[in-house]
């Protein structure tokens, strides 16, 4: 049976001997009796033990040891080179073999699922869509649309059976439908909204049910995160029970849950700021209370990042060299507004968390800036002009920091020595992770109260990044993000 108990909390010696550790601090009984130093790993080490070079080398050596067991397979004179196989192989490379996460669990689900199931059909649809986006195959595009239509019909049938919606593969189906929309739809049409409402319905049902949540917490936490990003981006009021659902759903760690709760609170604040447009009177205290609540929330978002485990902070920052780089990275890192330095993090999860916090702060402060602009005389003692200037400076700083993270997210190095020779080697999932931060930054720099001579060049560079995600990586939704940001800035 597989060991699903999670990473061991025992000391390093007990784990090396593969014996049970009593986990006494500062020294376990075994180390105490042997007179040895007792060393425990950090929470960070346990959670990300599979995201470092040492773990990779150990795994590789074990694979080679297993190679001593030989299985004789018949040699295929004509290996399967069909479009279906190529699309699926590319899907595995882009989504399942990189960055441990919810999609990495997909193979285990597929093993227990019938070939004609809704899960298999939506995987085929997404695999073809991804292949079309990366290589421009029209046959893959047509196959993707066909399988998507079949998957929708199957999903309707699944939704009529409440017990089916309680299964893990149904959660994965909802998640993959959302991904499909991001990679195929260049408009903000009704089907995308429908999938987000479906996500909300599933999260609400699972969070309030008696079903064991620990087994599917990864799926639910990802769906919750997408739901919060949706409400934050659209400036819509989240469901009143969203925070309760997040509290009840186990996340991979408490820090991630805390961040999602802060983002949910920010979504509610942004919705409140955008809906409270009418100026009442100088005596009315409501506007002032809202303003102070938002400032306090922004401070909590800032301190959340700075007070996290030091391992989550950017471990290296260096100027970017433009010598000896492949053409694609040279092009992306050149031109007006391109970052002059880059951050390199301990792992992609740390970088993603930082950028989610930065993007949330950008959206909150943009909403505050609009709020102040409509109330120039909100309080006589307020220096609104100075406040707006400080907010613009903060927004500029946050967009700078996001730009510093993008080269590392796309597997670029400081000096270009380890850049991929071809963009085809960039896993789609890695590029997808910078979509929302890049979009948020581009929207901010095009905002009528922010844009100017100092921000114009940076906006040009973020547009280049979004265009790269659209035309090279194949994320179709980047197109409408560019168009809406530039239209709203007029």
Tens digits of residue pLDDT in 121-169: 999 999 999 999 999 999 999 999 999 999 999 988 887 877 777 677 8
How many other C-beta atoms lie within 10 A of the C-beta of residue 64?
9
Whether 396 shows a pLDDT value over 50: the answer reads yes
Give the H or E element holding residue 316. strand 316-319
**How far is 398 from 450, CA to CA, in rounded Å?**
13
Inside any domain, residue 202: no
Give the per-residue pLDDT at 74: 43
The number of distinct structural domains making up the chain is 2
Inside any domain, residue 133: no
Residues forming beta bridges with residue 319, ordered by sequence position: 341
Inside any domain, residue 271: no
User: Mean pLDDT score of the chain, rounded to an integer?
Assistant: 82
Task: Fill in the DSSP letter of residue 433.
Answer: T
Give the per-residue pLDDT at 462: 97
Inside any domain, residue 250: no
Give the per-residue pLDDT at 252: 75
CA-nearest of 314, 311, 310, 274 to 290 is 274
Inside any domain, residue 266: no
**How far is 412 from 467, CA to CA, in rounded Å?**
18
CA dihedral 276→280→284→285, nearest 10 degrees, is 20
CA-nearest of 417, 421, 418, 402 to 465 is 402
**How far is 283 from 360, CA to CA, in rounded Å?**
31
- Which domain does 18 fall in, by range? 8-41
**How far is 327 from 36, CA to CA, in rounded Å?**
54
**How far is 198 from 208, CA to CA, in rounded Å?**
16
252-270 residue pLDDT tens = 778 888 999 999 999 999 9
Give the per-residue pLDDT at 262: 96
Give the per-residue pLDDT at 282: 46
Name which residue leads in pLDDT, 204 or 59: 204
Q: Residue 64 — pLDDT band, cuts 50, 70, 90?
A: very low
How many other C-beta atoms lie within 10 A of the C-beta of residue 196?
20
Inside any domain, residue 325: yes
**Residue 237 neighbours by CB under 8 Å, 6+ apart:** 231, 267, 268, 271, 272, 275
Q: Residue 202 — pLDDT band, cuts 50, 70, 90?
A: confident
Helices (H), 208-342: 217-234, 242-248, 254-275, 286-306, 327-332
Inside any domain, residue 279: no
pLDDT winner (highest mean) among 124-138, 205-219, 449-463: 124-138
39-51 residue pLDDT tens = 887 655 554 454 4
Give the per-residue pLDDT at 313: 66
What average pLDDT does the segment 446-461 reach?
89
Give the per-residue pLDDT at 371: 86
**Least confident among 185-194, 247-256, 349-358:** 185-194
Residue 233 φ then ψ, to 5°: -70, -40
Give the per-residue pLDDT at 469: 97
Whether 242 shows a pLDDT value over 70: the answer reads yes
103-112 residue pLDDT tens = 877 888 888 8
Inside any domain, residue 341: yes
337-346 residue pLDDT tens = 999 999 998 8
Whether 284 shows a pLDDT value over 60: the answer reads no
What average pLDDT does the segment 181-201 reach?
76
Give the per-residue pLDDT at 424: 95
Give the per-residue pLDDT at 298: 94
The CATH number of the domain where 20 resides is what?
A: 4.10.240.10
pTM of this structure: 0.80
């Amino acid at each position: 049976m597989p060991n699903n108990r999670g990473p061991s909390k025992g000391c390093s010696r007990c784990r090396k001997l593969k014996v049970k550790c009593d986990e006494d601090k500062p020294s376990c009984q075994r180390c105490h009796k042997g007179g040895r130093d007792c060393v425990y790993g950090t929470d960070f080490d346990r959670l990300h033990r599979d995201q470092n070079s040492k773990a990779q080398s150990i795994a590789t050596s074990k694979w080679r040891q297993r190679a001593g067991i030989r299985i004789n397979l018949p040699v295929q004179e004509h290996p399967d080179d069909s479009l279906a196989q190529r699309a699926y192989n590319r899907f595995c490379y882009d989504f399942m073999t990189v960055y441990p996460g919810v999609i990495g669990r997909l193979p285990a689900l597929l093993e227990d699922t019938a070939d004609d199931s809704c899960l298999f059909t939506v995987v085929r649809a997404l695999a073809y869509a991804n292949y079309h986006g990366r290589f421009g195959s029209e046959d893959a595009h047509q196959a993707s649309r066909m399988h998507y239509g079949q998957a929708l019909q199957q999903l309707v049938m699944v939704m009529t059976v409440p017990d089916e919606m309680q299964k893990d593969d149904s959660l994965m189906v909802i998640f993959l439908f959302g991904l499909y929309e991001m990679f195929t739809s260049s408009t903000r049409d009704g089907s995308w909204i429908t999938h987000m409402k479906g996500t909300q319905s599933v999260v609400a049902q699972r969070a309030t049910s008696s079903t064991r949540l620990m087994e599917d917490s990864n799926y639910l936490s990802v769906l919750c995160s997408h739901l919060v990003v949706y409400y934050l981006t659209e400036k819509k009021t989240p469901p009143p029970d969203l925070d309760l659902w997040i509290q009840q759903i186990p996340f991979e760690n408490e820090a991630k849950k805390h961040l999602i709760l802060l983002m949910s609170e920010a979504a509610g604040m942004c919705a409140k700021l955008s809906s409270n447009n009418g100026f009442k009177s100088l005596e009315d205290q409501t506007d002032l209370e809202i303003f102070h609540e938002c400032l306090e929330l922004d401070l909590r978002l800032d301190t959340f990042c700075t007070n996290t485990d030091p391992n989550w902070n950017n471990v290296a920052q260096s100027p970017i060299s433009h010598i000896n780089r492949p053409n694609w990275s040279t092009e992306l890192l050149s031109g007006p507004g391109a970052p002059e330095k880059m951050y390199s993090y301990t792992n992609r999860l740390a970088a993603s968390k930082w950028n989610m916090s930065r993007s949330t702060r950008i959206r909150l402060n943009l909403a505050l800036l609009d709020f102040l602009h409509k109330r120039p005389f909100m309080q006589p003692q307020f220096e609104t002009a100075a406040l707006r200037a400080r907010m613009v400076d903060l927004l500029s700083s946050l967009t700078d920091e996001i730009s510093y993270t993008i080269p590392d997210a796309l597997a670029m190095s400081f000096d270009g020595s380890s850049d991929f020779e071809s963009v085809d080697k960039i896993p789609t999932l890695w590029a997808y992770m910078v979509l929302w931060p890049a979009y948020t930054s581009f929207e901010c720099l095009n905002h009528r109260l922010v844009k100017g001579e100092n921000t114009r060049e940076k906006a040009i560079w973020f547009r280049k990044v979004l265009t790269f995600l659209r035309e090279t990586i194949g994320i179709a939704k980047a197109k409408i993000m560019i168009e809406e940001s530039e239209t709203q800035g007029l």
